[in-house]
Structure 1
Amino acid sequence: MRINYSRKTDVKWQKIWEESGIYRFQPDSAKEKLYLMEMFSYPSGAKLHIGHWWNFGIPDIWGRMKRMQGYQVFHPMGFDAFGLPAENYAITSGIHPKTSTEENIRTMEEQLKTIGATYDWDYEIKTCEPEYYRWTQWLFLQLYHRGLAYQKKAPVNWCPSCQTVLANEQAKNGECDRCGSKVIQKDLTQWFFRITEYAEELLSGLDSLDWPEKTKAIQRNWIGKSKGAEVMFEIEGCEEKLPVYTTRVDTLMGVTYLVMAPEHSLIPAITSEKQRKEVEEYQKAAALLTELDRTSAMKEKTGVFTGAMGIHPLTGRKIPIWISDYVIASYGTGAVMAVPAHDTRDYEFAVKYQLPILQVIERSKGGERLPLTGAGILVNSGKFTGLSSEKAGEKITADLSLRQAGASRTNYRLRDWLVSRQRYWGAPIPIVYCEKCGVVPVPEEKLPVTLPFEVDFIPGGESPLAGNKEFTDTVCPCCGGAAKRETDTLDTFVCSSWYYLRYLDPHNQKAPWDIEKARQFMPIDKYVGGIEHAAMHLLYARFIYKALRDMGFVEGSEPFRSLVHQGIILGPDGQKMSKSRGNTISPDGYIEEYGSDVFRTYLSFGFSYQEGGTWKDNGIKAVKDFFDRITRMVENFQERKKETGMKGRNYEEGFDEKIDRMQHRAIKAVTQELEKFQFNTAIARLMEFRRVIVEYQSEKKESTAFEFKLITCFIKLFAPFAPHFTEEMWEELGMKGSVFDSSWPVFDNSKAEGDAVEIVVQINSKNRCKISIGSHETEEAIKMQALNQKEIIAELEGRTVRRIIYVKARLINIVVS
């Protein structure tokens, strides 16, 4: 009988899986639980493109292996359904965000099911449903009651097109990350989460995480810890002092002027009448610039003298106080001490405005070009002259402390999380404003504060909710008098900062999750998503989890134990896929022609999962041929078995020691490669293993028990890549039940390493690492293994591989330019 894998095979097995409930999670199972999760999808409305398959289909391979290894795998799916795109779509199309989002979700649910992943849809969540955002509002209230949610007026990033506030992370390069419009600064009263309270723990906690080093480096840089001193400068004629944070207190004797941010609260009080008009005009101009514009190294330094003088805390020398837009009010103290001889920015400013430049550090005797920014030996510094920068810093800080004019201090670049958004399609902030009682939180029993359906989406500089009086007009929970609801909604990153907990208990009406379930399942064992979320979602979720821990709602300190970033599959033009570019690739045609497993295996084999690459389909037929060869391998065994029977029931019948070693080496290699999410090299190993089995078959006239063992081992190893296809092969071989209820093959290391040799991997003839290979492996498999070593991947980034030279059993030399 001819075995024919096609799209019909996918449909057959998906129906069987659904009816049998094979992937329904069994929370009471005695098996060890394992939590696998991908960053959930935004329901854009477009059909699934290759990127969706890449993000959601490939991690399922790892999950299926873990299931076969005996774990009870929890693999949920849901939708990050709030957000500005749906609201913008409503403005242009007239289709309500609720209507379009729900329709998009229905479409994507059906499309995601065609992937054949192990999702248990009973645990699905949608952040736009009141049953979910009720608990997002509950989370806000918990933070509010503990002083971690607060309101203040502050300069914020404002997108004039989207008519909403953006967090700093959403205004990179001075542009809105949604529409690309130029961001401006605007003073608004906003809600913030006090993430800075956890700055040190967010930083130190990174050390224990199994995360990519690049991601941890991004978070470390964003948190931006620095150690220095706070120096207090008295202001002539003013009772208040001006605090300044510096990491170079050793240069204090070289301060020749002070600079304040244009927004600094002390400016009105210290500015002289003579300078007031000029200062106010400068402040207005600075307010039109984004933070990125102001801090750019390319921007010419500008400023205005306030007319005020500061007093040097050690010498009593008078120092002019200027304002300049290169100083940011929300960083440090909003003021800096300028040492132009030892800071490039200060030097440029001093030269432009002809301010004094006093050298107080030198590294060698004479001839040094200013500004000299590094550490050295102090000069022109009174009693500190002759000391090293390190020693002088200690003594100057101690002297300041004795004079009560300063002290050691640790500072962080991290700022509090701005969560207010002036838009409709988000979770309403559960706050009301009463003339008598002030700011009043909505009682928990009154949640959710539901979104009204009738709104006007035309941008007007405030939330569309402000125009719905039925929503805004309410009763104060405290006094019963008339009150107004908060009309801003929460940043959608608030919704995604805790969704992994709701997955555990999505139908719970009494609590956001069961604490015992959280104790059993958290932290997540494997989290998969894009590196673009390193300084947003991943940081916010860590903060929220730590805050919830301190409130007693969860245990442990981190939500995501192990993190994997998928690379990006680019369009055929080498650009990121998008509808606007017209370069998106639909998988539908490939799936219809080849079946979903061929497509899934091609994605796994054709690209490194953590690197991605430009889409090309010229190899998909080769993968289809690989499936056909597997089919022939199984058919060959079945035909010979039918004709002559299977020789022996004991696997020793037909046993071949060399082939057995190759089998164990294949099991070890595939297992280890899947653990590392290196799916392409795992498939290369499987291709080699199939060839070994076929060679064995060619030598045997009769099918043997050992051959049967080899084939079933291969099917198990290939099953995570091609679940529908291998179920069909498993059934054809007469096996009972699902292949995914069978055990993952286990290797004997003494056999797996028996024929291994170690070879050097070079780049342009320079040694970079070593790999272990089997004597039977093909040159193609060895080259693939070499290219997927982390040391090699890092060094090849941005370079072109010209050729790969393999010297058998000795080395591989990758020639690049």
Structure 2
Amino acid sequence: MSDRRIPFPFDEFEPKWQARWDAEKTFRTPNPGDADFDASKPKFYVLDMFPYPSGSGLHVGHPEGYTATDIIGRAKRRQGFNVLHPMGWDSFGLPAEQYAIKTGQHPAITTTANIATFKRQLKSLGFGYDWDREIATTDPEYVRWTQWIFLQLYSSYYDEETQKARPVAELEAKGWTRDQIDAVRLAFVHEAPVNWSPDLGTVLANEEVEEWRNKGHIVERRPLRQWMLRITSYAQRLIDELEPLDWPEGIKLLQRNWIGRSEGAEVDFQLAGHTVTVFTTRPDTLFGATYMVLAPEHPYVSEITTADQKAAVEAYITACAAKSDLERGDLNKDKSGVFTGAYATNPVNGAQIPVWIADYVMMGYGTGAIMAVPAHDERDFEFAQKFDLPIVQVVQPTGDQEWQGYTDPGTAVNSGFLDGLPTTEAKAKMIGWLEDEGRGKRRVQFKLRDWLFSRQRYWGEPFPLTWKDGHHYAVPDSELPLLAPPLEDYKPSGSPEPLLTKAREWVELPDGSVRETNTMPQWAGSCWYYLRYCDPRNSGRFISEDAESYWGGGEKPGMVDLYVGGTEHAVLHLLYARFWHKVLFDLGHVHTNEPFQRLVNQGLILGEDGRKMSKSFGNVVNPDDVVREYGADSLRLYEMFMGPLEQVKPWSMKGVEGVSRFLARVWRIAFNQNDDGHWDVSPKVQDVPCTDKELLRVVHETVKKVTEDIEKLSFNTAISQMMICTNAFTQVEVAPLKEFTLLLHALNPFAPHLSEEIHARLGGTTPLSETAWPSYDEAALVSDEIEVVVQVNGKLRDKIRISPATAQADVEALAQASERVKEHTDGKTIRKVIYVPGKLVSIVAN
């Protein structure tokens, strides 16, 4: 960084104000029950997405959302709200565990150091967090309540009649057996094909596979006993209850698509003495089903495969085992498959159709079997073309489109009793026929799969469960938190056995039972952290009833009023948090049915080279460096001035410098630097009434616009208005203290250090952060003059200022008398003058 002369002494006053805010706990927010809690105030809960404290610390892309929430939080606090604006750490995770594997150092040591770095950086930017509410998912008390919430899921089932979670104790009272209850728990055991990495020693989520393979790690598919959460029971509610939320439509669409609701029919095919059920959204095309495809993992594959196809089928199954679901599904562009040698019976016409296996059909989706209608399904069409399978038209397009590969509605053809019916009627008639004949039924299906909740890692919450005689049991609440013991080493064994199996004394209990050795995924802690922030030191409950009632209060369904974060969490984190919240709602632990009322996704900040900031590109900008050279306020203001919050924007150090110059202009209105480098109050600032009506108008217009723009999160336009206001002050001989202070009030949420320092040096005794938000004078917004543009032959030549009451003839005369206009009209004949009242005079001359 350069050793340029600092244009205002941010290096002196920024640390001073940060220390004061810390010492005085300026942004502490009292809770119901606290002596200083004021229940008459409305609440505003503003939340940043939970950061993972990585070893590399923040880069300048991270503070974008944090600055936005800080601005609106500071403004709301001054507008009379009890503002909850907390910060904490999503501190479990694989990176810390990988470091432990390399060094032998307990992951907690790395995590604690990373948190300290993040916290120092955030404090250096002056964010108004209530640090008394700081939490980390690795804190024992937090682990305790994460485990407690898991046990609520474990001890519940989904009542289809009431469409709510209910305690399994109700089923016990009805005489259900242990096995029957275990089969319906919201947390259940299932042997599932997973993405196993032997060198990482854990299962990976589908979304993680590509990342870790690119880092050189092995990932293979294999079946493992896993804990699952029955999120599929909530699929319809997760769709329906999105509607009242103030979320971007694009994010809502991503969630709906991920859940994937489909209406159609289940159809039963007979195959080698078995009934194979397939789900289809187009039962009207059943006459066109010319082959069937099973998932390679389908339990019937080994039984139905003929001897001459056995070797090819087994080789194909082995190849599929190495692929993730994403590689087999959305990323699968190359169609592959193998004929089993077997044939199934099409129930509608008795046709014998060949049965194939293919990797794009998976056991986790639907029934693990599909009927293929290649004439009217793009994927089936490509597959049939590649393997020379029959293609039979059963839908006539409505227009002149080609029928092969046609997937839209049309008219049924070559379909027996459906011929001539439009698609909607054909669907209904076919479903009725299937139900009447006992060969199928109406069905709603979801693409969403149950949540695979197990990891074989060390650095995660242990499951509060034990096993004995083949059954699992909940650990009593009194024994929570159940913490993982330290290990001699954290290296994976290469087998699927979880790392905790190494701790034999911890695993094996005196009564002969053993502890569950899988751990929870990182998602667990981030599913409910927004609730713990409301009551972080409560040792008797995960959140008190009073705190939950107050912070979750209001007419809207969501608890958090404003949630800001990146689009990378658009589906999974939001979906998982919504699921946990709904379970807690059903069981009566919270009274809102959604966690986040308003969601805003900030846009990515790219490097100066236009690429995503990454160590590999060498384009990461450390906020510490920017703060050192330009100050925290300059970084904050620049991140908000770059463009609309939601847009992707490239970083520019020249842009930071430009914003720094603006702040310096504000400073220099109030102070002059003397020869010894000290800053003296400028004689320009005087405690006198404002007699300049134009300045008065600009100031009150600024307060109005900044107030409105903060509410809309339109921070860049608010800053533009404050720049206009600053320019107005530089152009007058006297800057009235009252009006200049109004500018400082408006600037305060954006540049809190500078505005507080100027205010204090000018005699302010109460910090701006502790004063009420300013109001604006409507009367002052009315201008005595307006600006009118003057054009000659369509080109701008001048601007004139007039009273709004000036007669048209006088306006036209003033325009023609302008020296700049006369330069272009002298010697010419004025043919026409057009006046658009209050806006434009257009002169035509030749």
TM-score range, shorter chain: 0.7 to 0.9
Residue among 8, 14, 28 paired with 1:10 = 14
Shift of 1:758: 14
Q: Which amino acid aligns with 1:388?
A: P
Distance 1:339 1:663, change over 3 A: same
Q: Counterparts in 2 of 1:27-42, with a 5 A limit?
A: 27=31, 28-30=37-39, 31-42=41-52
Q: Which residue in the other structure is 2:103 paired with?
A: 93
1:272-283 alignment, distance < 5 Å: 272-273=306-307, 275-283=309-317
After superposition, where does 1:7-406 map in structure 2 within 5 Å? 7-27=11-31, 28-30=37-39, 31-146=41-156, 147-171=185-209, 174-176=210-212, 179=215, 181=217, 183-236=219-272, 238=273, 240-273=274-307, 275-295=309-329, 299-363=333-397, 368=402, 370-406=404-440
Q: Deviations over 1:685-715 (max 9, x none)?
A: 10001222333x33x5xx6xxx333211111
**Range with greater deviation from structure 2 (175-184 or 226-235):** 175-184
CA distance in 2, matches of 1:627, 1:224: 50
Secondary structure, counterpart of 2:243 in structure 1: helix
- What is the letter of the counterpart of residue 5 of structure 1? P
| Corresponding residue of 2:817 | none
For 1:448 and 1:498, locate their aligned partners in 2 and report how far apart those are by CA, in whole Å.
16
Match of 1:720 in 2: 749
Q: Which has the larger radius of gyration?
A: 2
User: CA 1:599/1:235 → structure 2, altered by over 3 Å: closer, same or farther?
Assistant: closer
AA partner of residue 451 (structure 1): A
For 2:109 and 2:191, the matched residues in 1 are separated by 35
Instruction: Indicate which of 501, 515, 518 corresponds to 1:466.
Output: 501
Q: How far did residue 670 of structure 1 move?
A: 1.4
Shift of 1:524: 0.8
Aligned to 1:487: 517
CA shift at 1:433, angstroms?
Answer: 1.8
**Structure 1 pair 675/276, CA: closer, same or farther in 2 (3 Å)?**
same
> Does the aligned pair in 1 maintain the 2:467–2:516 contact within 8 Å?
yes
Conserved? CA contact 1:159–1:176, under 8 Å: no
Contact 1:260 1:327 in 2 (8 A): yes
Instruction: Tell whether the 8 Å contact from 1:5 to 1:725 is kept in structure 2 after alignment.
Output: no
Q: Aligned partner of 1:468: which letter?
A: A
In structure 1, give the amino acid aligned to 2:38. S
Structure 1 residues 678 and 107 mapped into 2: Cα distance closer, same or farther (>3 Å)?
A: same
Secondary structure of the corresponding residue to residue 444 of structure 2: strand
Stretch moving more, 117-126 or 3-12: 3-12
Please, which of 467, 471, 474 is the counterpart of residue 441 of structure 1?
474
- Give, in whole Å, the separation in 2 of the partners of 1:45 and 1:367: 57
Residues 758, 84 of structure 1: alpha-carbon distance in 2 compared, 3 angstrom cutoff: farther
331-340 or 748-757: bigger deviation: 748-757
2:487 to 454, 459, 471: 454
- Distance (whole Å) between structure 1 residues aligned to residue 392 and residue 67 of structure 2: 62
CA contact (8 A) 1:234 1:310 kept: yes
Contact 2:395 2:403 in 1 (8 A): no
8 A Cα contact 2:89 2:137, kept in partner: yes
Q: Report what 1:686 is aligned to.
A: 722
| Mapped contact 2:73–2:83 kept (Cα < 8 A) | yes
Whether contact under 8 Å (2:687, 2:738) holds in the other structure is no
For residues 32 and 306 of structure 1, the distance between their equivalents in structure 2, rounded to whole angstroms, comes to 67
Residue 785 of structure 1 is matched in structure 2 by none
Secondary structure of 1:155's counterpart equals strand
Question: Residues 32-67 of structure 1, C-alpha deviation per residue, up to 9 Å, x if partnerless?
Answer: 221111112222123433233334334211111111
SS of equivalent residue, structure 2 residue 380: helix
**Is residue 420 of structure 2 the alignment partner of residue 420 of structure 1?**
no
Alignment length (residue pairs)? 740
Match of 1:770?
Answer: none
Given that 1:601 and 1:722 are in contact with CA atoms closer than 8 Å, whether structure 2 keeps it comes out as yes
Partner SS, residue 186 of structure 1: strand
Normalising by the residue count of structure 1, what TM-score does the alignment of the two structures yield?
Answer: 0.85
Shift of 1:557: 1.2
Q: Secondary structure at the match of 1:482?
A: coil
The C-alpha deviation readout for 1:123-155, integer Å capped at 9, x for no partner, is 111111211111111111111111111110111
Aligned twin of 1:576: 612
- Contiguous gaps of at least 5 residues in structure 1: 476-480, 648-652, 760-773, 777-807, 811-817
> 5 Å matches for 1:789-804?
none
Please give the secondary structure, in 1, of the residue aligned with 2:534.
coil
Seen in structure 2, the aligned counterparts of structure 1 residues 175 and 585 have a Cα distance that, compared at 3 Å, is closer
Q: 1:583: how far off?
A: 2.6
Give the C-alpha shift of residue 20 in structure 1.
2.5
Shift of 1:198: 1.0
The Cα of 1:277 is off from its aligned counterpart by 4.5
Contact 1:518 1:554 in 2 (8 A): yes
- Structure 1 position 83, deviation (Å): 0.5
Amino acid at match of 1:139: I
Structure 1 stretches of at least 4 aligned residues deviating more than 6 Å after TM superposition:
364-367, 753-759
Deviation at 1:9, TM superposition (A): 0.4
**Once the two structures are aligned, what percentage of the paired residues are identical?**
43
Please report the TM-score for the alignment, with normalisation by the length of structure 2.
0.82
Between the aligned partners of 2:263 and 2:783, the Cα distance in structure 1 is 53
Partner Cα distance (1:52, 1:347) in 2? 46
Question: How far 1:541 sits from its partner (Å)?
Answer: 0.6
Letter in 2 for 1:87: E
Partners of 2:198 and 2:492 within 8 A in 1: no
1:77 touches 1:121 (CA, 8 Å); kept in 2?
Answer: yes
Tell me how far 1:543 sits from its aligned partner: 0.8
Q: Contact between 1:456 and 1:467, CA under 8 Å: does it hold in 2?
A: no
Per-residue displacement from partner, 1:467-510 (whole Å, max 9, x unpaired)?
Answer: 121222124xxxxx312222111100111000111111222222
CA distance in 2, matches of 1:60, 1:18: 15
